């Protein structure tokens, strides 16, 4: 899952990025509100980790502009401001969660997973689709009762497809959700991962919609 | 426990009233005695004159059978002497011998163990002596004294009660105030009510107290805000510390762990620096400063600080220039060094590589001037008011800073009575921080 971290503090931003990557997220990190708005305009993210005290455009303005254009992106505010007023204002401005610094990385990852699965319309911690289950927290995948070993990208692709089971995702959508900036995307990378998933699970599980993209075959 | 103002007032007012009363009573009594003496003497003289006028025609008078016209009348006696030796006539209660040896005027005599007041008058062959027992006068004096003493004895307690009531009423605003202050919790610093009838003595006290309360409340509030700000400001470095530590903990390889651990150490250093600055700020108490005030050479101090920071500047190719002359200010050398270090550190941080940071020290009519000039991005005019407020970081986000440096500078400047101003650099570029210290007392 690709998340955007907006944090002006260098050491904290770096730590959040590295920590979320260790916990199975693709994390991008920007250091001010303007860069955050730009990134949100051009890229697709599964969730946003937003600091409030930001240079150029402050966090609440970022949030208000994001909600102003009807984005349903899950937003977790991570801030040093612990006053009740601030929490209320943050949540009422459209945040889905409000966490006061310092935060435990495992907890932050769990909150993000919960936000992401809720935004996909599910309350179950593990994603399930027919004989296939995927637990974002333990990073376990089971198919027909047997555990399946997946690489990090394969796992991320499968998770993405399962979150949007029954819907077609274009290659651009998949790429933008899977790859953070700075990582090179080979032209056929998505095809390669789809191929691997079909081989490790079953070929019919991912359906190709020619000229459009891919979808997870629901109920297979 | 100190004696209460009320009991002190009560006792001294009562004592004073009683003393005045007693003294005026004694004076009145003596006056009255004197008047009685005069009156009775006048009576004696009158009787004598009466007797003298009729001396030739007088025969034996049986005064025993004269009706008692007055309760003191019985004790009046008289003698009529012819040529001073032959007793021609006398009252029965008078002896046969001369009442007094004197021939004229008043005399006090002791006759048969009793005191008499005697008046003698002489005309031609007649000597008239009229006497009256002094006991009569004593009795009058006693009764006059009683008349004076009785209201005193009865009136004094009454006066005491009256004084007590007046004193209590007069001190009521004080009692109310003490009750009001006593009821307060230590952190309850709302102003005390100042009623209109509080009195000219208490009103300034109340107003001053309220002023003090306001100052205290303000300083409590600023303490509270500072603590909150500080705690708040520590959250981010600690969050970074924790995040980096967790990254290191979970790292799969040494190559991944090492940079994370380096960042843990960086985060520790930064947190420590923030704490240092917070402590510096907290220690900037006027009392501490006043005790260590001395004539200090600003130029020498600046050159020491510049030498400390030169390696930092050199690393970025920044030219650190100290201009000016030896100038003294009255101040605290350690604090002034902190001020200089913060200003120079800021200038170097925000200056571009290979630029010049200039420190200029000199005198002017306004006092001693200290300039710290950099060629960095400067600060927008509109934002300059916010410089030096705690935790206001207006500089670039990629320059490390705690947001406390300039507030420390501002505080130290305040303690030295120095004015802090932010100007554009000489060619409109960069920032010129100007401090104007008062000229040292000569």
Q: What is the pLDDT of residues A104-134, one digit of tens each?
A: 999 999 999 999 988 887 777 888 888 888 9
Q: Cβ of B243 and A12 within 8 Å?
A: yes
B362 assigned to some structural domain: yes
Crossing angle of the two packed helices B202-250 and B254-283, in degrees rounded to 10: 170
| Shared domain check, B302 and B421 | yes
| Shared domain check, B236 and B157 | no
Contact A97, A79 (CB under 8 A): no
Fold equal for A2-119 and A127-216: no
Q: What are phi and psi of B418, to 5 degrees?
A: -95, 145
Give the gap in angstroms from C-alpha B276 to the nearest C-alpha of chain A.
19
Q: Which residue has the higher pLDDT, B361 or B181?
A: B361
Report the distance separating Cα B124 and Cα A86, nearest Å.
126
CA proximity to A172, closest of A35, A60, A43, A25: A43
Q: Cβ of A19 and B246 within 8 Å?
A: yes
B182 assigned to some structural domain: no
Give the residue-averaged pLDDT of B47-62.
Answer: 71
Contact B79, B87 (CB under 8 A): yes
Average pLDDT of the residues of chain B = 82
B58 assigned to some structural domain: yes
Q: What are phi and psi of B391, to 5 degrees?
A: 60, 25
Q: Cβ of A11 and B244 within 8 Å?
A: yes
Report the distance separating Cα A77 and Cα B262, nearest Å.
27
| Shared domain check, B23 and B125 | yes
The answer for B112, left when phi > 0, alpha when psi is -120 to 50, beta otherwise, is left
Contact B330, B292 (CB under 8 A): no
DSSP chain A: -EEEEE-S-HHHHHHHHHHHHHTT-EEEEESSHHHHHHHHHHS--SEEEE-SS-SSS-HHHHHHHHHHTT----EEEEES---HHHHHHHHHTT-SEEEESS--HHHHHHHHHHHHHHHTT---SSEEETTEEEETTTTEEEETTEEE---HHHHHHHHHHHHTTTS-EEHHHHHHHH--TTS---TTHHHHHHHHHHHHS-GGGEEEETTTEEEE-TT-
Q: Please classify residue B53 by burial: count the beta carbons closer than 10 Å to its beta carbon, then call 0-12 exposed, 13-18 middle and 19+ buried.
A: exposed
| Shared domain check, B357 and B301 | yes
Which residues in B332-437 belong to E strands, given as ranges?
A: 356-364, 367-373, 419-424, 431-437
| Shared domain check, B269 and B308 | no
| Preferred mutation among B231, B246, B248, B399 to probe A, highest tally of A CBs within 10 A | B246
Q: Report the residue of chain B nearest A54, measured CA to CA.
A: B397
| Shared domain check, B315 and B272 | no
DSSP state at residue B441: P
State the sign of the Cα–Cα–Cα–Cα dihedral B289, B294, B298, B304.
negative
| Shared domain check, B145 and B29 | yes
Q: Cβ of A12 and B239 within 8 Å?
A: yes
Q: Which of B231, B261, B282 is the last residue of a domain?
A: B282
Give the gap in angstroms from C-alpha B337 to the nearest C-alpha of chain A.
29
Q: Cβ of B236 and A80 within 8 Å?
A: yes
B152 assigned to some structural domain: yes
Q: Which of B255, B282, B309 is the last residue of a domain?
A: B282
Give the residue-averaged pLDDT of B366-391.
Answer: 78
**What's the first-to-final CA gap in chain A, in angstroms?**
24
Residues of B with CB under 8 A from a CB of A: 232-233, 235-244, 246-247, 250-251, 260, 263, 266-267, 270, 396-398, 400
Q: Cβ of B260 and A102 within 8 Å?
A: no
| Preferred mutation among A6, A7, A9, A11 to probe B, highest tally of B CBs within 10 A | A11
B107 assigned to some structural domain: yes
Assign domain A127-216 to a CATH class.
mainly alpha
Contact A77, A112 (CB under 8 A): no
Q: Cβ of B246 and A11 within 8 Å?
A: no
Kindly indicate whether the domain formed by A2-119 is annotated with CATH number 3.40.50.2300. Answer: yes
For A103, the closest of B239, B244, B260 (CB atoms) is: B239
| Shared domain check, B224 and B93 | no
| Shared domain check, B255 and B157 | no
pLDDT band, very low/low/confident/very high, at B292 (cuts 50, 70, 90): confident
Secondary structure (3-state) at B368: strand
DSSP A146-202: EEE---HHHHHHHHHHHHTTTS-EEHHHHHHHH--TTS---TTHHHHHHHHHHHHS-
Residues of A with CB under 8 A from a CB of B: 8-12, 14-16, 18-19, 22-23, 31-32, 55, 78, 80-82, 100-106
Longest dimension (CA), chain B: 159
Range of the domain at B236: 202-282
Token pair listed for B361: 């020290």
Q: Report the residue of chain B nearest A33, measured CA to CA.
A: B397
| Shared domain check, B387 and B350 | yes
**The total number of residues written for chain A in this structure:** 220
B186 assigned to some structural domain: no
Q: Report the residue of chain B nearest A99, measured CA to CA.
A: B239
Per-residue model confidence (pLDDT) at position A104? 94
| Shared domain check, B208 and B260 | yes
pLDDT at B179 over 80: yes
Q: Report the residue of chain B nearest A32, measured CA to CA.
A: B397
pLDDT at B337 over 80: yes
For B263, the closest of A14, A101, A106 (CB atoms) is: A14
CA proximity to A79, closest of A67, A93, A65: A93
Q: Cβ of A12 and B397 within 8 Å?
A: no
Per-residue model confidence (pLDDT) at position A103? 93
B168 assigned to some structural domain: no
Report the distance separating Cα A153 and Cα A181, nearest Å.
15
Token pair listed for B241: 């510390």
Per-residue model confidence (pLDDT) at position B97? 81
Residues in A closer than 8 angstroms to B243, CB to CB, are 11-12, 15-16, 18-19, 102-103, 105
Q: Report the residue of chain A nearest B257, measured CA to CA.
A: A18
Token pair listed for B279: 């402590």
pLDDT band, very low/low/confident/very high, at B389 (cuts 50, 70, 90): low
Q: What is the pLDDT of residues B119-130, one digit of tens each?
A: 888 888 888 888
Q: Cβ of B247 and A100 within 8 Å?
A: no
Residues in B closer than 8 angstroms to A106, CB to CB, are 246
Token pair listed for B90: 């006398």
Q: Cβ of B247 and A12 within 8 Å?
A: no
Q: Cβ of A14 and B244 within 8 Å?
A: yes
Report the distance separating Cα A15 and Cα A20, nearest Å.
8
Per-residue model confidence (pLDDT) at position A128? 83
Q: In 10 A of CB B280, how many CB atoms? A: 18
CATH for B229: 1.10.287.130
Residues forming a β-bridge with A29: A5
Q: Which residue has the higher pLDDT, A126 or B281?
A: A126
Q: Which residue has the higher pLDDT, A63 or B183?
A: A63
Total domains in chain B come to 3
Q: Which residue has the higher pLDDT, B249 or B83?
A: B249
For B267, the closest of A11, A81, A100 (CB atoms) is: A11
Q: Cβ of B263 and A106 within 8 Å?
A: no
Q: Cβ of B250 and A32 within 8 Å?
A: no
Angle of CA points B122, B123, B124, to nearest 5°: 130
For A101, the closest of B236, B250, B263 (CB atoms) is: B236
Per-residue model confidence (pLDDT) at position B388? 62
Residues forming a β-bridge with A209: A213
B175 assigned to some structural domain: no
Contact B280, B345 (CB under 8 A): no
pLDDT at B63 over 70: no
Question: Quick check: pTM over 0.90?
Answer: no
| Shared domain check, B93 and B68 | yes
Per-residue model confidence (pLDDT) at position B400? 59
Low-confidence ranges of chain A (pLDDT < 70): 182-186, 218-220
The answer for A192, left when phi > 0, alpha when psi is -120 to 50, beta otherwise, is alpha
Q: Which residue has the higher pLDDT, B248 or B144?
A: B248
Domain residue spans in chain A? 2-119, 127-216
pLDDT band, very low/low/confident/very high, at B287 (cuts 50, 70, 90): low
Task: Output helix, strand, coil percentages for chain B, rounded to the nearest 5.
Answer: 55, 20, 25
Q: What is the pLDDT of residues B297-316, one digit of tens each?
A: 999 999 989 888 888 888 88
Crossing angle of the two packed helices A10-22 and A105-119, in degrees rounded to 10: 70
pLDDT at B65 over 60: no
Per-residue model confidence (pLDDT) at position A38? 93
Which range among A35-39, B83-87, B381-385, B430-434 shows the weakest confidence by mean pLDDT?
A: B381-385
pLDDT at B377 over 50: yes
Q: Which of B282, B301, B318 is the last residue of a domain?
A: B282
A176: Cβ contacts below 8 Å, ≥ 6 apart: A2, A43, A44
For B243, the closest of A8, A16, A82 (CB atoms) is: A16
């Amino acid at each position: 899952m690709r998340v955007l971290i907006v944090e002006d503090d260098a050491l904290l931003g770096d730590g959040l990025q590295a920590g979320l990557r260790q916990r199975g997220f693709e994390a991008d990190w920007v250091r001010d509100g303007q860069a955050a708005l730009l990134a949100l305009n051009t890229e697709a993210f599964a969730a946003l980790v937003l600091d409030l005290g930001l240079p150029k455009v402050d966090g609440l303005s970022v949030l208000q502009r994001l909600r102003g254009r009807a984005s349903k992106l899950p937003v977790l505010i991570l801030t040093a401001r612990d006053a009740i007023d601030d929490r209320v204002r943050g949540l009422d401005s459209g945040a889905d969660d409000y966490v006061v610094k310092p935060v435990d990385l495992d907890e932050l990852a769990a909150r993000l997973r919960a936000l992401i699965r809720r935004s996909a319309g599910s309350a179950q911690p593990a994603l399930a689709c027919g004989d296939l289950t995927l637990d974002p927290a333990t990073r376990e995948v089971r198919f027909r009762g047997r555990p399946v070993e997946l690489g990090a990208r394969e796992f991320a692709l499968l998770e993405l497809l399962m979150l949007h089971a029954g819907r077609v995702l274009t290659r651009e959508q998949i790429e933008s959700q899977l790859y953070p900036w700075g990582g090179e995307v080979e032209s056929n990378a998505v095809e390669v991962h789809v191929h691997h998933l079909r081989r490790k699970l079953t070929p019919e599980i991912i359906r190709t919609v020619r000229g459009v993209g891919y979808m997870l075959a629901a109920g297979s | 426990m100190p004696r209460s103002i009320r009991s002190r007032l009560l006792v001294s007012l009562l004592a004073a009233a009683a003393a005045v009363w007693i003294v005026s009573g004694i004076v009145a009594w003596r006056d009255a005695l004197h008047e009685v003496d005069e009156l009775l003497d006048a009576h004696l003289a009158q009787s004598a004159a009466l007797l003298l006028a009729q001396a030739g025609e007088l025969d034996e008078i049986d005064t025993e059978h004269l009706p008692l016209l007055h309760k003191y009348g019985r004790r009046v006696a008289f003698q009529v002497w012819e040529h001073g030796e032959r007793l021609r006539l006398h009252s029965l209660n008078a002896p046969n011998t001369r009442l007094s040896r004197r021939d004229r005027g008043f005399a006090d005599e002791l006759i048969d163990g009793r005191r008499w007041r005697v008046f003698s008058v002489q005309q031609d062959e007649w000597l008239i002596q009229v006497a009256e027992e002094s006991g009569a006068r004593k009795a009058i004096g006693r009764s006059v004294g009683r008349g004076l003493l009785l209201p005193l004895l009865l009136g004094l307690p009454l006066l005491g009660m009256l004084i007590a009531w007046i004193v209590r009423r007069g001190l009521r605003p004080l009692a109310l105030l003490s009750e009001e202050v006593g009821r307060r919790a230590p952190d309850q610093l709302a102003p005390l009510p100042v009623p209109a009838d509080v009195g000219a003595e208490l009103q300034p006290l109340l107003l001053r107290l309220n002023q003090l309360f306001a100052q205290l409340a303000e300083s409590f509030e600023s303490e509270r805000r500072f603590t909150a700000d500080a705690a708040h400001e520590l959250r981010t470095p600690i969050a970074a510390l924790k995040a980096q530590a967790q990254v290191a903990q979970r790292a799969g390889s040494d190559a991944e762990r090492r940079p994370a651990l380096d960042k843990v150490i960086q985060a520790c250093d930064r947190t420590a620096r923030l704490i240092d600055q917070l402590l510096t700020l907290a220690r900037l108490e006027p009392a501490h400063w006043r005790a260590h005030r001395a004539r200090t050479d600003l130029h020498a101090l600046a050159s020491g600080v510049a030498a400390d920071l030169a390696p930092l500047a050199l690393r970025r190719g920044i030219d650190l220039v100290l201009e000016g002359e030896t100038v003294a200010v009255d101040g605290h050398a350690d604090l002034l060094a902190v001020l200089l270090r913060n200003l120079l550190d800021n200038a170097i941080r925000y200056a571009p590589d290979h630029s010049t940071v200039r420190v200029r020290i000199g005198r002017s009519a306004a006092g001693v001037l200290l300039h710290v000039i950099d060629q960095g991005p400067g600060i927008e005019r509109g934002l300059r008011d916010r410089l030096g407020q705690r935790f206001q970081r207006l500089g670039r986000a990629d320059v490390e800073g705690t947001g406390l440096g300039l507030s420390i500078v501002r505080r130290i400047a305040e303690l030295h009575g120095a004015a802090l101003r932010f100007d554009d650099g000489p060619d409109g570029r960069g920032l010129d921080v100007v401090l104007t210290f008062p000229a040292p007392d000569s």
